[in-house]
Structure 1
Amino acid sequence: MSKENLKVVILGGGESGVGAAILAKTKGLDVFLSDMGEIKENYKKILEENTIEFEEKNHDEERILAADWVIKSPGIPKKAELVQKIKAKGIRLSSEIEFGAEFTDAKIIAITGSNGKTTTTSLIYHILKNDNMNVGLGGNIGKSFALQVAKENYDYYVLEVSSFQLDDIQNFRPYISLLLNLSPDHLDQYNYNYEEYALAKFRIAENQENDNYFIYNKDDEMSQKLLQKLDLRVKQIPFSMKEKLNEGGYTEGEKLYVKLQDEFSMRIDELSIMGTHNVANSLAASIAGKLLNISNESIRHSLMTFQAVEHRLENFAEINGVKYINDSKATNVNATYYALESMKQPTVWIVGGKDKGNDYTEIEELVKKKVKAIICMGLDNSKIINFFKDKKEVIIDTASVEDAVKAAKSIAEKGDAVLLSPCCASFDLFDNYEHRGKLFKEEVLKS
């Protein structure tokens, strides 16, 4: 069937759904958008201006199941009954990144991983932009990728890609893919099976050929295990913080190195972002830059001038000699591990929220070593309190950002740091992690 006659249904009326609807309309497809919730006014206005038919607070199942192609928002669980019915009928089901990629010849650099995706995606975008390349930023970050395919004419796209988006791909084939690391996350969506979740991440490389590149973390055990099993055709390039490599990226002493056709190196203390994990992210980004033939000078300059992503180890204030750091984006234990590891001074740690099956043993030693007090911020903090009660003397239970900041300010002394790194999702008290981080910063900055 030619694309012209396709009936396309978009499920979800947020940023990615509306972007996909506009792309479908631009390409002359028969498009209908359906959202079980309420669509925000600004998105409704866009749909109306583009004469795109839509429904909200309802799913017209008959119409949806008559589609040739359904584009699903990553927020809709794959176990949802409607999704199961779509699959049972054999209707093609795609994510917005799959849909957008079908309509562009631009080179795609796609980044996934359990932690560091947003930072590394933003860093690679910064490296390309700094080198005057014609580049768009999308996926889980910035504007909808499909919308940019409809409206812009970029030569490159740098996309942050989640496992949920990769669950719904068929042909997606990036020019360069990056898998930064793996740690158990979102396991509730993957039958509580870590390997199943990890394999979803590896789908980023499944359609790549030997003229494409896959950048991966050689220090990551699960990545190494799955690379032995999977039959990938793509050219694989590793990075490591532990061993010197003949090809790829690594650290040695005070420097980081990338060895491909030639060699790039720079001092680690010249990087603009803090923390060991960000050295790994910078290595991965530098390899991508080299593969795109960006000069060493240009990459070095970009790594020295990059500004940290908001809500990710964002050092936003110093008040009375106390540093305040917003790491609201740390929604799992592994992300908080990286945050605590990078702390150089005694730390008052604010933690808590909606627990996704966390195991705190991973950070137990770091908490003993670096944390002077724990402040819990959530509706139910019992799990955190029970785990750390014999390990830390000062644990304070709060259920609001106001109380958490008040407690932190009363404990922190000159030379300390207050770190919001919650380990948990934000949905118990906040709309999302951005909302949590924003309110935290506002509360800290109140006199």
Structure 2
Amino acid sequence: MKNSPSDLSERLRTLPAAAPLLRVLGGDPRVFVVGGAVRDVLLGDAPLDLDLVVEGDAGEVAARLAEGLAGTVQLHDRFGTATVVADGRSYDLARARTERYARPGALPDVQPGTLEQDLRRRDFSVNAIAVAFDGRVAAVEHAFEDLAQRQLRVLHAESFREDPTRLLRLVRYATRLGFGVEPATSRLADEAIADGALRTVTSTRIGNELRLLLREPEAAAALAWIAGWGGGDALVPRLSFDPELAARARALLAPDGRPDLLLLAVATLRVGAPLAAWLGDLGFSARARDTVVAAAHGAARAGERLAAAGTGARRPDAGDGAAARAGAGVARSGGDERPSAIVDALRGASPELAALAGALGGETAAVAAARWRDELRGVRLAIDGDDLRAAGVPQGEAVGRGLAAALRAKLDGEADGRDAELSVAVAAANVG
């Protein structure tokens, strides 16, 4: 730890996010900063947002804070929590509570409780430290020891069975913080996974945790960890993760691509037909789901064919998926260095599909995919369909055929300027 428990309160008081709290709530002995913010301060970081636990009515304290900061407050009655947003900062407030689980994986039934009871219902010891602005500190057993040893420990033997989403949080925190897992906690996690604990929790809650995990800087390491659970079948059958493939694909991703969806596509290459339904159950948006499915389904069927296609030696069969056709096409076009062939190979591809196709297709495909990303995907014609119709080309397929021919010519350096583009387009439109 970079900061000791003895100077914890003083360190918290210096945080930019704490100054507004001190002004409004500094004299309230019921209010404690708790959880990840305290942990991060002890690790030497400066959290931007703070979580508060209140021994009493959190809604009343939240309303007072929002009024004092000229902010907004949103109440969540079921769990006695509230969120205050002011000056670009967010403060989550929760009433100190106890929890009881009616069955494994269920949402908890909550009752008001003491600060000590609230800390004992939390996920890991390092997240179960609370500090008041007057210097009082409360923590569960092993909390400071585990923080010093940089390890995660659950607070009781039923933790993962009561709330299996803690398994995903274990991975997220461990990879983000660079922490290990305390041996007994590791054993309990393995047992919960083997006993199917993740199947007792709703897909929506799993999806929420997975999306948080995918936004982490170490999401690739987290996915590699999760893919080892239950032989790859714990979350969805045949989940897998190749870190080297992920790194190659990530290096090829366009700036407007989404790294989280690309990594998820890498992890689901082998999932197959159930993928779309699974992502839908997890609550992914239709656009995100379609992006992952298009890349993962195509790449899953590509495999060795993409590697062979990188030499330009063979074409994919008609049954290949989108990423397979794109990867093979990119590999061939990269070999003969025709820009139009690269664009044709990746026509309609998302940045995620293009990156994965390039990563799977070998060195030649990777070079071509990078060229598509950096030079070719933004090339536009100076003419459009109105120009062709004004030149006498009838409405219909001929216009599309002409524009496609003009774009190929422009990409390949065979049509320089508007007049040249129009000449190529009209000639191509009149063929057939």
For the aligned pair, the TM-score class normalised by the smaller chain equals under 0.3
With the length of structure 1 as denominator, give the TM-score of the two structures: 0.25
Larger helix percent: 2
Higher RCO, Cα 8 Å, sep 6+ = 1
Answer with 1 or 2: which has the greater Rg. Answer: 2
